Chains A and B, each alone.
Chain A
């Protein structure tokens, strides 16, 4: 039994065996008791790897052309290299298992090649790592580069990328534990949207735990116990039962509209990334979709979705929401999200680079296809298109021009286009500071607070050594939000928040106080937050927000909110996310 203290990022309890995913970049360092079976294992894995690579080469040649496909020729010659296999054999003779022998043989060449690499060339060492992951994945009995769980488990991984989680059977996952990450990394967001417990920052745990070991996970406190004893198991099961009871009680707020204590209305909308999320949106009584991340449509495939494919998805979301507002965000690729069929040049600072709308301007056909699909879907409901990463007024004008052009073209073909809103995501400080001018051009603002915090603090949110700078309650951020709301009011535009901070009770109260009219969060958090807001008086919240604007630190802001709003402290405290 050992106890680890990680960062809790999605509340709830889970007790299930670990499934360690994707730990293919670490030396397994395992000896084998059965040396004779290692070679056939390697041969089988090699055969599967070759088959993968040949099929990837063919697919890539078809979709992207032979030049792009050449990378897989390079991988094929690496995986067949006689010198590599002779090293594997040497390690095998020393008693190492197939995984370790192959890992180390590749490592030797990775080190040799890393020393020789020239600037600007595609890295051969990276090719080797890629090939190694693929073959190790097959050795471990999985498909492709990662194994897949076959029974209920807690997923344990260094980090989880969107393309990794797409291939998983999430029905078997009871919780997540990751080494690198934060509240806003993909795995955390996914866990909250599924209502599953999750902890991150568990690097030490990753070095110890193996697939199949029993884990007890508390996603609120971040405590993870490996091989819990009988007492701990019982405590966990009790906590799990109590947690489920609490969730059930909270659920009655799923059926009510959001009203503050004084009767004020506020929309609690849901963030979604895939069609499967819609069930939870309806179940939790969301007053709309506040953020539909369309990039999930574009990930994990060989080529971009066609206009008709996109249309079907957008229409389905609009129809399911039956006239409630649906904010669909246009393609937000770049930064931490990349597409296999859209290779992008390496950038020194991808989060400050050609991402989101900037990339859309560079790939007009990709963008126009999405625009046409959105326009064609517009008669199916209350469509609100949101453009991410806007810094300039000119960018909004350019996007609107594209929408106008495609609208005329569609109308000429006799295709109906209904009224819709075209708004922007406010996530760059420059946009917040220039809100009055942007309000002239955009129909609404939605504050993307995850990125707004990152850009305001100049702190990469993927960097787990800078998590202390991720401060949703910081007065600097509150002032930017205040400017955005005031700017929007000059033209009577509505303002929403679709970042993670919307789900934190203290932050939600301040946002309400600052005049935000819509909060969009993971659907499972809606009933709890709705309950809390039913106890909050809007006027008092506005006074609190006003006082907070004159403070200097997040700690002061938090203390102020806690002191003035004891109604936030109750059985639901911390349950809202």
Chain B
């Protein structure tokens, strides 16, 4: 399952929200594989380091994919979190 979100925060992608995202993906959805795609880059959504290397800026569109486990629920929560966080 996939969902596309847009980075709305003018300062882009920063460490603290990235960490919350990873913490939830890791702890709440241990059986779900989460990946993020931005342009040609595809990364593990449970890795803070990879999230930081993604270098997402305001206006970037990012595809979230969740596979396995409670994937629908994961996608909803993580997608919402993503958009909430980046509107903060």
A positions within 8 Å CB-CB of B: 70, 73-74, 77-78, 81-84, 109, 112-113, 116, 124, 128
The count of residues in chain B whose C-beta lies closer than 8 Å to any C-beta of chain A is 15
Q: Give min CB distance, B64 to chain A, whole Å.
A: 17
Selected from B22, B43, B46, B52, the residue in CB contact (under 8 A) with A124 is B52
Closest to A108 in B: B49
Q: Which residues of B contact A73 (CB under 8 A)?
A: 19
Closest to B15 in A: A74
Task: Report if A116-B53 is in contact (Cβ < 8 Å); known contacts: A81-B48, A82-B47.
Answer: yes
Selected from B22, B44, B48, B52, the residue in CB contact (under 8 A) with A116 is B52
Task: Report if A113-B53 is in contact (Cβ < 8 Å); known contacts: A74-B15, A77-B23, A124-B15.
Answer: yes
B28-68 vs A, CB cutoff 8 Å, 1 = contact: the mask equals: 00000000000000011011111011010000000000000
Give the number of A-B contacts (CB < 8 Å). 38
Complex CA distance for A574 and B23, rounded to whole angstroms: 62
Q: Which residues of A contact B22 (CB under 8 A)?
A: 77
Complex CA distance for A293 and B19, rounded to whole angstroms: 42
Complex CA distance for A56 and B34, rounded to whole angstroms: 31
Task: Report if A113-B19 is in contact (Cβ < 8 Å); known contacts: A82-B44, A84-B47.
Answer: no
Selected from A74, A81, A116, A128, the residue in CB contact (under 8 A) with B47 is A81
Q: Provide the main secondary structure of the chain A interface.
A: helix
Q: Which residues of A contact B48 (CB under 8 A)?
A: 74, 77-78, 81
Name, among B46, B49, B55, the residue most crowded by chain A CB atoms within 10 Å (CB to CB).
B49
Q: Give min CB distance, B52 to chain A, whole Å.
A: 6
Task: Report if A78-B49 is in contact (Cβ < 8 Å); known contacts: A83-B44, A124-B15.
Answer: yes
26 contacts between A and B (CB under 8 A): A70-B16, A73-B19, A74-B15, A74-B19, A77-B19, A77-B22, A77-B23, A78-B48, A78-B49, A81-B47, A81-B50, A82-B46, A82-B47, A83-B43, A83-B44, A83-B47, A83-B49, A83-B50, A84-B47, A84-B49, A109-B53, A112-B49, A113-B53, A116-B53, A124-B15, A124-B52
Q: Give min CB distance, A135 to chain B, whole Å.
A: 14
Q: Which residues of B contact A83 (CB under 8 A)?
A: 43-44, 47, 49-50
Q: Which residues of B contact A116 (CB under 8 A)?
A: 52-53, 55
Complex CA distance for A128 and B23, rounded to whole angstroms: 18
Q: Provide the main secondary structure of the chain B interface.
A: helix
Complex CA distance for A83 and B44, rounded to whole angstroms: 8
Complex CA distance for A113 and B54, rounded to whole angstroms: 10
Q: Which residues of B contact A84 (CB under 8 A)?
A: 47, 49
Q: Which residues of A contact B15 (CB under 8 A)?
A: 74, 124
Q: Which residues of B contact A74 (CB under 8 A)?
A: 15, 19, 48
Complex CA distance for A74 and B14, rounded to whole angstroms: 12
Q: Could you tell me if B47 and A112 are in contact, using CB atoms closer than 8 angstroms?
A: no
Closest to B18 in A: A77
Q: Give min CB distance, A187 to chain B, whole Å.
A: 35
Complex CA distance for A124 and B50, rounded to whole angstroms: 12
Closest to A109 in B: B49
Q: Give min CB distance, A209 to chain B, whole Å.
A: 33
Name, among A77, A78, A82, A116, the residue most crowded by chain B CB atoms within 10 Å (CB to CB).
A77
Q: Which residues of B contact A113 (CB under 8 A)?
A: 49, 52-53
Q: Which residues of A contact B44 (CB under 8 A)?
A: 82-83
Q: Give min CB distance, B45 to chain A, whole Å.
A: 10
Closest to B55 in A: A116
Closest to A110 in B: B49
For the complex of A and B, list the 3 residue pairs with the smallest distance between their C-beta atoms, beginning with the closest.
A83-B47, A77-B48, A112-B53
Q: Give min CB distance, B85 to chain A, whole Å.
A: 15
Complex CA distance for A109 and B23, rounded to whole angstroms: 20
Complex CA distance for A173 and B59, rounded to whole angstroms: 58
Closest to A85 in B: B47
Q: Which residues of A contact B46 (CB under 8 A)?
A: 82
Complex CA distance for A113 and B23, rounded to whole angstroms: 20
Complex CA distance for A113 and B55, rounded to whole angstroms: 9
Q: Which residues of B contact A128 (CB under 8 A)?
A: 49
Closest to A73 in B: B19
Q: Give min CB distance, B59 to chain A, whole Å.
A: 16
Complex CA distance for A402 and B70, rounded to whole angstroms: 65
Complex CA distance for A128 and B48, rounded to whole angstroms: 12
What 12 new A-B contacts, CB under 8 Å, besides A74-B19, A82-B46, A112-B49?
A73-B19, A74-B15, A77-B19, A81-B49, A81-B50, A82-B44, A82-B47, A84-B49, A112-B53, A113-B49, A113-B52, A116-B53
Q: Which residues of B contact A109 (CB under 8 A)?
A: 49, 53
Complex CA distance for A70 and B16, rounded to whole angstroms: 9
Q: Give min CB distance, B14 to chain A, whole Å.
A: 8
